[in-house]
Homo-oligomer: A and B are copies of this chain.
Amino acid sequence: MILSKILDSIMDLQGEFEFLEFNVGRKKNDYSSAKIRICGESLEHLNKIIREVLRLGAVLPVTREVEFVAALGDMVLPDDFYCTTHHPTWVYLGGEWVEVEDLMMDKQIIVEPENHRAYCVPISGVKKGDLIVIGERGVRVKHPERPRMGVGVFEFMSSDVSPERPATALIREIAHNLKDRARNGGKIVVVAGPAVVHTGAAPYLARMIELGYVDSLLSGNALAVHDIEYALFGTSLGVDLESVRVVSPRNHIAAINRVMRAGSIRKLVDSGELSKGIFYQLVKRDVPFVLAGSIRDDGPIPEVVKCCDEAQRLYREQVKDADFVVMLASMLHGIAVGNMLSSGVKIICVDINPAVVTKLSDRGTSQAVGVVTDVGTFLPLLVNELEY
């Protein structure tokens, strides 16, 4: 619906609007129309809004002639040049609507009033003296209407998960949200996968816990085993995380064995053997955690809940009153948690694989923010923001 897009756009740009008229086509083949008054804070603000809504298919109540000026040089445009969409476009030229030829997106319109012609050119095609359309008056854009039926295959794609996002700004805003939440007593649940350790980010997640930004941790056997392996031996799956070299492939079994001998993670901390890392901080600060078993587990260590029904129940208990869920490189547990959340809970999902974020939103969890990045670079930058 074009109208929704127009209203959304006005609100995005923080303008005000008021309906003056609204005629709805009564049946599904009828046309609808609306007359809307738009207000901005200044003339400039208003013009910005108008520019956008005209691009979206609105028309001004009074039709005015299209405006144009001559290009001052080859490949040089006037400042206020009109920038095309790729939708069918007309200009009001010499008292009639003239369709723009050769339409392409993000290009310019040249008019030839004497010939009643208008056509689209890229900036590289502009010659000195060409009459370039400026502003938005007298330009009409026709957005494709939603086809009513039989659209089939040509409909289901409209994506917005992209790795090309401004990472530092996003992280700053996420940190800001977490700080707010923590300050207001909201509950932050972190769901994390073992890649947190492999990518060298374990100390940063440990620091988040120390700073009080984790009220509950949901994960599986692997995160605990690798975190403890790293705390005890400096390796993750046998890879030394400083020199990035395989030094001892048996270390993860050795870590499991140390927990087994102590009896539990908690006892390993109490005995003084485990003195840093994610699980050390959790135990020390009495932050609850649930480790769900999976068929992939080595061990598993005693804290792991081996029955999936029971693990689900315990997870559900933790997320019941969550305000904010941060998912760190954990597809399995992330999707499990996503299915348990009501739509009021905010989700941050960090994964290097865009498909993981897509999967979350495909299942209906639309309140998620996806950040397609390496958790090993994300967490240091996030913790840096949280510290200050």
Q: Oligomeric state, in number of copies?
A: 4
Interface size on A, residues (CB 8 A): 145
Given A16-B27, A295-B332, is A167 in contact with B200 using a C-beta cutoff of 8 Å?
yes
Inter-subunit contact A104/B295 (CB<8 Å): no
1/0 per residue A164-187: CB within 8 Å of B? 111111110110010000000000
CB atoms of A339 and B249 under 8 A apart: no
Tell me, rounded to whole Å, the shortest Cβ–Cβ distance linking A151 to chain B: 9
A374's contact among B309, B344, B373, by CB below 8 Å, is which?
Answer: B373
Instruction: Please indicate the chain B residues that have their CB under 8 angstroms from the CB of A374 in the complex.
Output: 163, 167, 352, 372-374, 377-378
Partner of A343, one of B144, B149, B332, B362: B144
A331 at the interface (CB under 8 A from B): yes
Pick out which of these stretches binds chain B: A109-117, A235-243, A269-277: A235-243
Q: A308 touches which one: B300, B362, B380 (CB < 8 A)? A: B300
Taking A28-B11, A294-B295, A339-B104 as contacts, is the C-beta distance between A76 and B257 under 8 angstroms? yes
- Least CB distance from A244 to B in Å reads 6
A312 partner residues in chain B, CB cutoff 8 A: 122, 124, 295, 297
Do B358 and A159 have beta carbons less than 8 Å apart?
yes
Mark out the residues of chain A between 296 and 316 whose CB falls within 8 Å of any chain B CB in the assembled complex.
296-300, 306-309, 311-312, 315-316
Please list 25 pairs of residues, one from A and one from B, whose beta carbons are closer than 8 Å in the complex, sorted by A's number: A4-B4, A8-B146, A11-B149, A85-B343, A88-B343, A102-B316, A104-B339, A123-B253, A123-B260, A123-B298, A124-B309, A157-B369, A160-B358, A161-B161, A162-B358, A163-B199, A164-B195, A166-B200, A168-B380, A295-B333, A295-B336, A296-B339, A297-B308, A380-B381, A381-B381
Ranked nearest first, the 7 interchain pairs of A and B with the lowest CB-CB distance are A167-B376, A166-B200, A83-B250, A377-B377, A373-B374, A293-B308, A1-B4
